[in-house]
Amino acid sequence: LEKRVFILGPSHHVRIGGCALSPAKIYRTPLYDLSINQQVYDELYNTGLFEEMSTLTDEDEHSIEMQLPYIAKIMENHQVTIVPVLVGSLTTEKEASYGAVFSKFIADPNNLFVISSDFCHWGARFHYQYYDKSWGDIHHSIQKLDEMGMKIIESLTPSEFTSYLRKFGNTICGRHPIGVLLNAVNILQQTTSNGHKMSLKFLYYAQSSQCLSMHDSSVSYAAGSLQIE
């Protein structure tokens, strides 16, 4: 059976209030071409919630592109199509609306979801320098802040994640794609009678460098896995 890989990536270059789909039919990777699933795209367009991004926007955006070689490598022994989705600056209400759309796709075991995000962007150049000295050096404070967010994401509670972001303003670039995923999972849990067992666990965390002074900067990275049974 064909596997479909949904890729939800944040928009870095254009301001959109919703989600956008690619005008392309295929994406080229160093390994082989990945075809975009036009049937799923039609279903998404029919909801009236999706727009089409320009080719230029698509080519400029790295959040989806950087996932493609890994998807191609991991899925090389499977029949696979992809469903790239550019996620804009969504309100909490819109995160819930898109979550409802994707919840039925998440329930299908032939569908896989890749949520593209970094974690904390810290430093003057990112206009974010939250530091709690009681947590140790700056890089320890960043890690503690990120781990707090990761723990909340693992709890699969969208409202808690929204509250966390409002309180600390952590510069997680994929916060809206993560919000859509959390809402989709939440809606799936509420609407299915067979009670899907879901668990999200973060597997790896790293920082690009260890900040020790207010002149330093770093980007955090985290990888997590959601399993639905």
Q: Which of 187, 185, 220, 184 is nearest to 205 (CA)?
A: 220
Where do runs of H (alpha helix) occur along 10-137?
A: 38-46, 55-60, 62-65, 68-74, 92-106
- CA 90/CA 93 separation, integer angstroms: 8
Q: Residue written as tokens 């592109």? A: 65
pLDDT of residue 121: 96
84 has pLDDT over 70: yes
Residue 68's Cα: distance from chain center in Å?
A: 14
Domain boundaries, the chain: 1-89, 117-229
Q: Convert 144-180 to b/e letters by CB count within 10 Å (16 or more is b).
A: ebbeebbebbeebebeebbebbeebebbbbbbbbbbb
Q: Topology of domain 117-229, per CATH?
A: Protocatechuate 4,5-dioxygenase; Chain B (3.40.830)
66 has pLDDT over 90: yes
Going by pLDDT thresholds of 50, 70 and 90, the confidence category of residue 192 is: low
24 has pLDDT over 80: yes
Q: Is 10 exposed, middle or buried (0-12, 13-18, 19+ CB in 10 A)?
A: buried
pLDDT of residue 13: 74
Query: Cβ(17)–Cβ(94) under 8 Å?
Result: yes
- CA 87/CA 84 separation, integer angstroms: 10
Going by pLDDT thresholds of 50, 70 and 90, the confidence category of residue 107 is: confident
Q: What is the pLDDT of residues 116-127, one digit of tens each?
A: 999 999 999 999
Average pLDDT (187-216) is 88
